[in-house]
């Protein structure tokens, strides 16, 4: 039986990662904008963090919980979900400029697209809490929280900051109020706490699917990095020397190195 207080804790963890997206809008309270060079580095940083979290966190834990075949099946399912979801939503690409101008129906579509992007991150948080309450975790607010859950929550929170910045850039160019930049950044990650609760509840009821769940989250996130984050960074860096590739490489390496100490816990 899944306890309500456990669900609340997992929801709060997912909400923390969503709120972290709003931090990405805070620089616009002090500066007019962010240069393409810094933006490319930020996207690289986000990509490196997500790849580290997927490989050193989810895939590593998945191998400890199940067989390589189960893990690979989950990875394939995660990739398939993103591909199919994109097609269902007619492969729609939403420009953050549309947030401010959207009516209710458009906002529903936007939230659907955002779900494709951020729901897998919520799933990653949910499955990382699978061993909540078991020995080997760290005491937090009266709960015994798995170290993997701490790692994933921190990793995705840090990753979400550059995403919030990327969302704020076009909105800021429209003259959108600064406090609204924070709101729209957080809005883009709202599916994360929902995905976290659903994934946690599922693996608690069907524990045998836990390796599949780890693979699922890792596959979806790695696919998003390779097909969206890195191409977005290269698109932004087109006008930079060498197409912004050096800046992107620096960001990715820093993101990976930033997560290594956490992965070693």
What is the pLDDT at residue 98? Answer: 66
Looking at residues 82-101, what average pLDDT do you find?
67
pLDDT in tens, 96-117: 666 666 665 666 666 666 666 7
The whole model's pTM is what? 0.83
In the chain, the percentage of residues whose pLDDT exceeds 70 is 86
Domain that holds residue 228: 4-263
25-56: pLDDT as tens digits:
888 888 777 788 888 898 898 899 889 989 88
- Averaged over 1-18, what is the pLDDT? 89
Span 6-16, mean pLDDT?
94
Distance (Å, whole) CA 50 – CA 57: 10
Tell me, letter by letter, the H, E, C secondary structure of 45-112: HHHHHHHHHHHHHHHHHHHHHCCHHHHHHHHHHHHHHHHHHHHHCCCCCCCCHHHHHCCHHHHHHHHH
CA atoms within 13 A on the CB side of 32: 0
- pLDDT band of 72, cuts 50, 70, 90: very high
Number of domains in the chain: 1
Q: What is the mean pLDDT of residues 208-215?
A: 90
Q: pLDDT higher for 177 or 89?
A: 177
Q: What is the pLDDT of residue 163?
A: 82
Measure CA of the first residue to CA of the last residue in the chain; give whole Å: 30
Q: What is the mean pLDDT of residues 205-233?
A: 88
């Amino acid at each position: 039986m899944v306890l309500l207080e456990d669900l609340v804790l997992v929801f709060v963890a997912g909400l923390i990662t969503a709120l972290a997206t709003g931090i990405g809008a805070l620089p616009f309270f002090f500066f007019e904008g962010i240069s393409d060079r810094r933006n490319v580095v930020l996207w690289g940083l986000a990509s490196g963090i997500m790849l580290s979290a997927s490989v050193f966190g989810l895939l590593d834990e998945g191998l400890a919980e199940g067989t390589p075949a189960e893990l690979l099946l989950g990875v394939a399912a995660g990739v398939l979900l993103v591909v199919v979801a994109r097609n269902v939503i007619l492969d729609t690409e939403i420009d953050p400029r549309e947030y401010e101008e959207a009516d209710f129906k458009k906002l529903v579509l936007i939230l659907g697209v955002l779900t494709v992007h951020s729901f897998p991150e919520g799933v990653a948080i949910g499955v990382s809490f699978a061993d909540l309450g078991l020995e080997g975790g760290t005491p937090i607010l009266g709960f015994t929280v798995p170290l993997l859950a701490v790692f994933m929550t921190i990793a995705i929170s840090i990753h979400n900051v550059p995403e919030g910045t990327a969302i704020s850039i076009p909105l800021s160019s429209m003259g959108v109020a600064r406090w609204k930049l924070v709101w729209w950044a957080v809005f883009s990650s709202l599916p994360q706490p929902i995905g976290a609760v659903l994934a946690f509840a599922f693996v608690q009821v069907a524990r045998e699917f836990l390796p599949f769940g780890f693979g699922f989250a890792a596959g979806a996130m790695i696919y998003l990095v390779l097909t969206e984050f890195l191409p977005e960074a290269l698109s932004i860096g087109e006008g930079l020397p060498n197409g912004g590739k050096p800046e992107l490489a620096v960001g990715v390496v820093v993101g990976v190195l930033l997560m290594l100490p956490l992965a070693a816990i």
